[in-house]
Amino acid sequence: MTEYDLIVIGAGAVGENVADRAVQGGLSAVLVEAELVGGECSYWACMPSKALLRSGSALRAARRVAGAREAVTGDLDVRAVLDRRNAFTSNWSDAGQVDWVRGAGIDLVRGHARFTGPKRIEVTGEDGTVTELVARHAVCVSVGTDPKIPDIPGLAEANPWGSREATSAQEVPASLAILGGGVVASEMATAWATLGSRVTLIARSGLLEGMEPFAGEAVERSLRELGVDVRLHTATERVTRSEDGVHIELGTGESVTASEVLVATGRTPRTGDLGLETIGLTPGDWLRVDDTLQVEGFDWLYATGDVNHRALLTHQGKYQARAAGDVIAARARGLAVSDAPWGTHVATADHATVPQVTFTDPEVASVGLTARQAEEAGYDTRVVDYEIGWVAGASVHADDYAGTARMVVDESRGVLLGVTFVGPDVSEMLQAATIAIVGEVPIERLWHAVPAYPTVNEVWLRLLEAYGRPGAEARTPA
């Protein structure tokens, strides 16, 4: 039986940060990890998927500029792309991350953790050894999610790819069917089509539906240009696997055959085998938390990252982790807790200020509310759109640059609620929008935030001009 101030279950990017902040705050902490320290993001999600996408994106960028275009005479070196991706995952070795954990003064226990009661955890190692841990102050659950397999007849038996197979495959499948129309489906369709697979994307919805409509429309156009067979608003009725591949029967009466099928239809929490029943919670549920990441109804239990279902993104989970690690340390030491909105110990930004980049071609970079979400939330909104290609910096950046920017304004307060950029290489423009929204910078002050000429960021000035300068007299026609 070993006692720690804090036990963190799950050493993904999020759990690591909870433990690190708590140790920096003066507590003792142990991380329990069943697989690889670093979790999904490092080995089967963000990093390998972005590595798979980046080479194709760099090649397209060169082809968009005359002079450079002529110098690009070959195709992607697929083996080199896959090798680079392998290097990003350290060939699925977590030795480097384990060193970091030790260096940060955090203990590590390898094995599958289960609650046996309040503040009590049992860890079963691969060799069957059992370690019992007790938390003096808190337990934080950071166990992440698995792909959700929808209840489509035959799908589970057809041995489908999930996000792990899609990000770690060592060969390009001759053909790939993708079920889903969200971020994983859009990114993986872009990646594998660029690498030479014949991709069919089947979505019962539209594409990227939670975002501004022009995002999904632009990504759909580019997927079709890449040769992807895009079937939207199409149900999947049945899936079977035979020697010649996977057969997918569609609601339209048509069928699709592919070497592999990727299920990208959302996520399910890894709480099914966590002993939650021993603390009065239901196995398989998401863990609902307050803004200090404390699980509702508990004063010692916290949940951070994907498992709390607030914002399934690494950066947002790590933001929660910083707040959770700090508040656990503050509460354990009897220090003041700053839990008002935007305080030190809360994850306020989870609610309506979440930035996200979808690394498709074009990229989709968005933060805050879409026009529709803002309207549904009851804001008095005004929406301003501008074609990014009309900006001098964009035309220098790429020939025939095509992209759209939108800002959603809260008219009653004169501040931004949401910003979306869709276009080549817009990802790096997102942080300015995040700062404007989180900082609630008044529109009239944004006029003083001057974008350098000629950068693509000049689209900010164009959006403000299209909106109109508060306080400036409009010229009356003579």
Ligand X SMILES: NC(=O)c1ccc[n+]([C@@H]2O[C@H](COP(=O)([O-])OP(=O)(O)OC[C@H]3O[C@@H](n4cnc5c(N)ncnc54)[C@H](O)[C@@H]3O)[C@@H](O)[C@H]2O)c1
Give me the least distance between CB of 152 and ligand FAD, in Å please: 19
Please answer whether residues 388 and 363 qualify as being in contact, where contact means their C-beta atoms are separated by less than 8 angstroms: no
Among 357, 394, 429, 430, binds ligand X (CB under 6 A): 357
Give me the least distance between CB of 365 and ligand X, in Å please: 10
What residue is closest to ligand X based on CB? 182
Give me the least distance between CB of 357 and ligand FAD, in Å please: 7
Interhelix angle 213-225/183-194, rounded to 10 degrees, is 20
Burial class (CB in 10 A: 0-12, 13-18, 19+), 214: middle
451 binds ligand X (CB under 6 A): no
312 binds ligand X (CB under 6 A): yes
Binding segment for ligand FAD (CB under 6 A), chosen from 5-13, 337-345, 403-411, 421-429, is 5-13
Residue 8, SS3 per DSSP: strand
Q: Which does 358 bind (CB under 5 to 8 A by kind): ligand X, ligand FAD, none?
A: ligand X
Residue 393 and residue 452: Cα distance in Å, rounded? 9
Per-position x/- string for 252-291, each x denoting binding to ligand FAD as judged by CB under 6 A, each - no binding? ------------------x---x-----------------
Residue 346 and residue 330: Cα distance in Å, rounded? 12
Binding segment for ligand X (CB under 6 A), chosen from 14-22, 86-94, 168-176, 353-361, is 353-361
Give me the least distance between CB of 13 and ligand FAD, in Å please: 5
Give me the least distance between CB of 198 and ligand FAD, in Å please: 20
Residue 288 and residue 80: Cα distance in Å, rounded? 43
Q: Which does 142 bind (CB under 5 to 8 A by kind): ligand X, ligand FAD, none?
A: ligand FAD
Among 55, 57, 89, 163, binds ligand FAD (CB under 6 A): 163
Closest of 81, 32, 104, 71 to residue 196, by C-alpha: 81
Long-range contacts of the stretch 251-258 (C-beta < 8 A, 24+): 256/177, 256/200, 256/202, 256/229, 256/231, 257/175, 258/173, 258/175, 258/176, 258/177, 258/198, 258/200
180 binds ligand FAD (CB under 6 A): no
Residue stretches of the annotated binding site for FAD: 50, 306
98 contact partners, CB below 8 Å, separation of at least 6:
37, 108
DSSP assignment letter at 281: -
10 binds ligand FAD (CB under 6 A): yes
Q: Which does 274 bind (CB under 5 to 8 A by kind): ligand FAD, ligand X, none?
A: ligand FAD
Q: Which does 19 bind (CB under 5 to 8 A by kind): ligand X, ligand FAD, none?
A: none
Count CB-CB contacts under 10 A for residue 447: 17
Residue 24 and residue 346: Cα distance in Å, rounded? 18
Among 6, 8, 15, 407, binds ligand FAD (CB under 6 A): 15
Amino acid letter for position 204:
R
Per CB under 6 A, which of residues 313..352 are in contact with ligand FAD? 313-315, 317
Residue closer to ligand X, measured from CB, 106 or 193: 193
Closest of 218, 159, 163, 217 to residue 185, by C-alpha: 163
Start-end of H helices in 243-370: 314-332, 349-352
Among 14, 179, 189, 463, binds ligand FAD (CB under 6 A): 14
Per CB under 6 A, which of residues 98..127 are in contact with ligand FAD? 112-113
Which spans of this chain sit near ligand FAD (rule: CB under 6 A)? 9-15, 32-35, 39-41, 45-46, 49-50, 112-113, 142-144, 163, 167, 184, 270, 274, 305-306, 312-315, 317
